[in-house]
Amino acid sequence: MKFKRTFILATLLLTAQYTFATPDTDPVTEDRQKAMQTLEEQAKAGNQHARTELGIQYLFGDFIKADPKRALQLLSVSADQGDARAQTALGHMYSQGIGVTKNMQKSLDWYKKAAQANYSMAQSKLGYIYKEGLGVQANPIEAAKWLEKAAQQKDTYAQANLARLYETDAGMSQNYKKAAHWYLQAAQNNHIGAQNRLAALYENGQGVTKNLKTAYMWYSIAAVWNDSEHQGLQEGDPRIKLSALLKQSEIDEATKDAEEWWMKHYKAQDAEQPLH
């Protein structure tokens, strides 16, 4: 699961004046530069929020050139002052070896600090680490504890990973009903893996009442992400099997329901592709 970037350009642009474009200027670039300058000034003045935002920018390089060493300096100060977002960013840096020597124990320590402060992103990452056994002994019970905390705070990735734990019986009691519940929460937030798994549960009647039309709908919703809706049903598409079991009128209804779902729920964001 990639580290979700928390820098919001719109927030920074509140500190910058928009300018009209001229042949020699780019208003968007100018606004970004002004925004970053404002962050630099506020960070130097001791503004912890600005320091953390600036550190995240240097970490990911969305609007400025990435500089992991500078990111480490800024984020370390904020993290030591108890900033959960900075602590989570350091956890990411140590887990990936960005600007530092890869160290899963240090990564875990920083994630724990932020997770204990009830920061959902850190809780989600921590749960994933315990789920997969990344640098630690896999512990599904500990994973479920942290994923549950993050899922309750509407963290989509935590919801999907918690559902996966309940579905696969990975060291804890299998519970298809809970799996279906959390897959639904994540699916409603455009998580393609959750959409596909929820469809499979409806197809097989696991944790929910078997409903092939609903399964077809969720498979259709998920298919939008890979653009397969514009290509017709391709080999390997689970809807091929369902098409032989459903009436054409049911297929049409499921397709319409999927289209209406997208009209209601579409958000301009990336889908988290596979389940982690």
Q: Is the pLDDT of residue 275 over 90?
A: no
Quote the domain boundaries for residue 16: 1-105
Tokens found for residue 214: 């609903």
Do 173 and 268 lie in a common domain? yes
Q: Which of 24-28, 146-150, 156-160 has the lowest mean pLDDT?
A: 24-28
Tell me if 133 is assigned to some domain.
no
Tell me if 127 is assigned to some domain.
no
Tell me if 175 is assigned to some domain.
yes
Residues 216 and 30: their CA atoms lie apart, in Å, by 48
Q: Could you give the percent of the chain with pLDDT greater than 70?
A: 83
pLDDT tens-digit map of 63-110: 889 999 999 999 999 999 999 999 999 999 999 999 999 999 999 999
pLDDT tens-digit map of 150-174: 999 999 999 999 999 999 976 778 9
Do 160 and 265 lie in a common domain? yes
Do 234 and 175 lie in a common domain? yes
Q: Which of 55-59, 170-174, 185-189, 211-215 has the lowest mean pLDDT?
A: 170-174
Q: Which of 257, 201, 190, 200 is nearest to 225 (CA)?
A: 190
Phi, psi (deg, nearest 5) at residue 59: -70, -50
Owner of token pair 């020699």: 24
Phi, psi (deg, nearest 5) at residue 232: 80, 180
Tell me if 207 is assigned to some domain.
yes
Q: What is the CATH number of the domain that holds 28?
A: 1.25.40.10
What pLDDT was estimated at residue 122? 98
Residue-averaged pLDDT of the chain: 86
Do 101 and 152 lie in a common domain? no
Do 28 and 92 lie in a common domain? yes
Tell me if 123 is assigned to some domain.
no
Residues 116 and 85: their CA atoms lie apart, in Å, by 12
**How many Cβ atoms sit within 10 Å of the Cβ of residue 113?**
20
Tell me if 139 is assigned to some domain.
no
> Considering its fold, how many domains does the chain have in total?
2
Do 18 and 75 lie in a common domain? yes
